[in-house]
Amino acid sequence: MKLSRQFTVFGSGIFCVVVFSLYLMLDHLQLDHSSNPRAGSAVFQKGQLSILQEKIDHLERLLAENNEIISNIRDSVINLSESVKDGRANAEAANQSRASSAELLASPPLVVPVEPEDCRFAARPYAKASDGVQMLDIYDLLPFDNPDGGVWKQGFDITYDEHEWDSEPLQVFVVPHSHNDPGWLKTFDDYYKDQTRHILNNMVVKLSEDSRRKMLWSEISYFSKWWDSIDDQKRDAVKSLIERGQLEIATGGWVMSDEASAHYFAVIDQLLEGHQWLEKNLGVKPKTGWAVDPFGHSSTMAYILKRAGFTNMLIQRIHYSVKKHFATEKNLEFFWRQNWDPDSSTDILCHMMPFYSYDVPHTCGPDPKICCQFDFKRLPGGRISCPWRVPPEVINDGNVQHRAQMLLDQYRKKSQLFRTKVVLAPLGDDFRYTEASEWDQQFNNYQKLFDYMNSHPELHVKAQFGTISDYFDALHKAAGIDQKHGTPSLLPVVSGDFFTYADRDDHYWSGYFTSRPFYKWLDRALESHLRAAEILYTFALADIQRSGKLNDFPSSESYKLLTEARRNLGLFQHHDAITGTGKDWVVVDYGTRLFHSILNLKQVIINSAHWLILKNKEEYSHSLSSPFLQKDDIQPSHDALPLKTVLKLSTKPRSLVIYNPTEQVRSAVVTVFVNTPRVSVLTALGRALKVQVSAVWEEATKPSTEAFQVSFVGQLPALGLGVFQLLEGSDPGTALAEYSLYRPGGGLSPGPSQPFKLSVVQEAPQPFTIENQHLQLWFSAASGLMEAMKSKDDGGEHQVKVEFVWYGTTSNRDKSGAYLFLPDREAKPYVTQEPPTIRVMKGPVYSEVVSLYRHFTHTVRLYYVQGVEGQSMEISNTVDIRGEFNREIAMRITSDLDSSNRFFTDLNGFQIQPRRTLRKLPLQANFYPMTTMAYLQDNHVRMTLHSAQSLGVSSLKPGQLEVIMDRRLMQDDNRGLGQGVQDNKVTANLFRVLLERRAEPREGDDSQPLSFPSLLSHITSLYLNHPVLPMAVSLHFGAVSLSTFSPLLSSLPCDIHVVNLRTIQAQEGVGPSDEAALILHRKGFDCGFDTKNTGLLCSTTHGKIPVDQMFREMKVQSLTPVSLSLMHTPDQGGNADEIQLKPMEISTYRIRLR
């Protein structure tokens, strides 16, 4: 019965393939009369005859693919039949069926099925709240001048009526805090040893001396390290301080995260790590965000905190003109709402600090000269003093009246900038309260001032120490905020973000968007490895528990490595780490941590994959010194790019296991290095694949004779492991790449090129092309750089010109540095005395053009894949500017798109923020952070630059995108670092350029403050940031039966992304529990673009996933919705049988798999 059912399934599959193929043929035979009639007037006009010829060529390719698909299915059926004859119809047949599932799914629908309802979210018009403030409008409105504001230099004079508080007294909350950077001028460990541990030790003693004293702490990376070193008595004292409300943990993340370059995966992960530590050790659930030092603020962070269950947040580093405007309008406290939120579901109460800094001189009121006199660490005789040369005075009976009135005057003036009679006055700075004497100086003197103020009713003030939540609780009450019942309050709604930050003059902090780009790349490599390791480890644990087999799988050791990697990645999200704004030796410390964690995660991936692909689990044996699998690359050190491992092949098949970290069944180009050009690649069913063998170049014109690059297209199961066989030997499906070498002016003399065909063109030819099924690209023969591209799917041709440019730094006193970008003028074209060597390669799996210049190697590649990877072109730039002096190198892409002054950048890989290039601002102010993508568009076409690393980007002219790739700066920019950026590395930047035509011309302009990528764009970004991971079975292992691991029943819906599947810590010890955190993100997408030929095997489902239809063999024992970082379980949070997500929603579930 089971057998006949399987034959029925295969027969149905053949029928569906034939039907789809016929439909596909008919679609491609007809000319697309609905397309834009002006499309033919592009760069290279062609007649209707050539278009018809292209359609016929395309049809021939589709027929060939159809024959291959039918052949695959036939082979699968024969294979299954033979297994039945051999009496292996049960487990073995099931395994073969699983192994071939990816191949059987090789015929995607012509168009991705998208429910019309799923298109409404992105199509609806923007609805601004009646009391709403949109940051794009603010930027249009402000003159961005900088008049002298008096004592508040960047503001204005503040006056008040002394009787204003007669009926309602002023409430003042002074919040002591110590901002501890986990690395900046010292390493994390050195800061801890020299300062942080003393701060925390003194905190326990000094807060216990007086119950009125309060303290705020934020960074759990430090707190956890200190906690591990203290005894139970001190731990009990800390818990008592928290219970009494004297000590508050604000935000509670591993670090105070950067908000520009950090990807939302890592931001959530470091928040989760901190909250998990707090839950296990202190039982604390933070409710207020505290971000006084990140260099600009992202609305993504507001959303993440809201989803984690926070009700309040505080931000500080905002452009001084924006602060002044918000202060003028009394909008410094507001509900921060996402651009795409049609109601108030994402609102979170936010306090914007109004003045220059978070230090004491800039927090009590508008006059820093006076506020500095109330920073009692600066008393005469101390190590620091007031720059205004008026020192603080010890408070005594003789001066308390005068000093209290001075301070109260500042509090009253500050209150004039807000809508309630509640004032916040932070009291702290970097690494404050290190010494016991400072605790006494600050707390004793302030308490005398408070006692005086509070004992004089005529002053109408109540002043006290408080935590940040004490302040917000009073604010909620004063503003009439009742979030449970949604009652209106006094406060406005603000949407948008707060980039790019300037603290004074034209000093825009847009340099750090790119600074130390090597480590920004390394950060993303670690993210990708961590996510892959988390998911595979979770599956392996569940499978082991399901099988009930005792084995030596290193679950505890692997979990320890995972925890260490989470914490090293979390540490690097710190706003002086991923930003590239630390001292050289601090950067080395960060890099070493990232590097070691990648090495450790490869162990976790290998161990987990080993278990999951074994047919016979009894054969599993763990060996640290002799692993079953080996990764296909080796990174020699923390500051070097990875090198591919050369796999040794023989006539005996060698298994290659490939992990697909995406939740879609994926046709991926897999590339490995081998020791022979005579290679065959077989699928799990023994079918030979089309293979391309390319050269590995030792020098610009010298190919290696010991290493060869093997590339093939593999079908991989969603979140699963595919198994392939490599062996030495000739195969008709294996083709050698063909090369042409150019150098303007000639002079090339390449060495031996066997076995490859290599032709040298001595005279400059006409512009040359490479192409695949979807695209054709034209390149300049003089530069080797792209000049135009054509989409074969719609016939549209566009100028898309790539060039490189240099920026210098200004001759003024203040120059570019790690933080600031202060260019001398507009960029100058990259000019070199030596002409480039241009290498053109063509092959059946991919073709590429490589241009080798002195400072960079630029590669443009097209993949022959009927799907996502074939729809865009890949650009890689290997950059080396180590010999330069005060220069920054940028890649500029100039198109013929009529984009006006509008462009779009992502925020943290989570959402898109529209931008406007403003001529009233200096050039450097128009650069913004790009975490994963930026795009331009007009009414017909969108051009997206996808990035595998965070960099700074701009669109200084219509149709143009410009990305800074590296910076070498010889001096400090006077922001405290005390050095330039001179530790440059050979850095690899990876991009994809996607050109998409709208199905219908877009009406109107780009004035709306929201935009969304297409589905194809989302998946392109996903593939770029989560490449497949090849692993080869080690040579010394004999024949072992392996099977494809396909954990999901099918691809998840196209718009749903598995952010993470992260095993949760056990409540006791350091090992894993039997639960995991399943974090899902439903992406908002623009349906206005064609979804033809994407190769995707998914659809959209209104954000719904039936739980019992997610996994193939594993069962979901329980699934409970929780807050983003697992802190809260909703009242209705029972066991769910269906996942349902709203567009843009990120949700977390506690899941137990078996």
Are 570 and 273 in contact by the 8 Å Cβ rule? The answer is yes
Place of tokens 């990875």: 642
Tokens standing for 195? 């300062």
Active-site residue among 181, 258, 269, 293?
A: 293
At residue 677, what are phi and psi to the nearest 5 degrees? -85, -10
Kindly state the helix (H) or strand (E) to which residue 599 belongs, with its residue range. helix 584-613
In whole angstroms, give the CA distance from residue 931 to residue 950.
Answer: 4
SS3 category, 360:
helix
Quick one: 1086 exposed, middle or buried, by C-beta within 10 A (0-12, 13-18, 19+)?
buried
HEC-encoded secondary structure of 1126-1149:
CCCCCCCCCCCCEEECCCCCEEEE
Cα within 13 Å of Cα(239), Cβ side: 14
786: left (phi over 0), alpha (psi -120 to 50) or beta: beta
SS3 category, 671:
strand
In whole angstroms, give the CA distance from residue 921 to residue 924.
Answer: 8
How far is CA 235 from its chain centroid? 36
Using alpha carbons, select from 795, 1088, 1096 the residue that is nearest to residue 937: 1088
Are 569 and 533 in contact by the 8 Å Cβ rule? The answer is no
SS3 category, 362:
helix
| 293 a catalytic residue | yes
DSSP 939-1005: SSEEEEEEESS-EEEE--STTEEEEEEEEEB-S--SSS--S-B-----EEEEEEEEEEEBSSPPPS-
DSSP 711-735: EEEEEE-TT-EEEEEEEES--TTEE
In whole angstroms, give the CA distance from residue 779 to residue 437.
Answer: 69
- Whole-angstrom CA distances from 166 to 162, 453, 1099 are 8, 14, 64
Give the pairing type, strands 856-863 and 873-879: antiparallel
Strand partners, 914: 904
Using alpha carbons, select from 239, 254, 244 the residue that is nearest to residue 284: 239
Using alpha carbons, select from 870, 1011, 1003 the residue that is nearest to residue 940: 1003
Tokens standing for 868? 């996502």
Strand partners, 459: none
Strands (E), 576-617: none
* Residues that are catalytic: 293
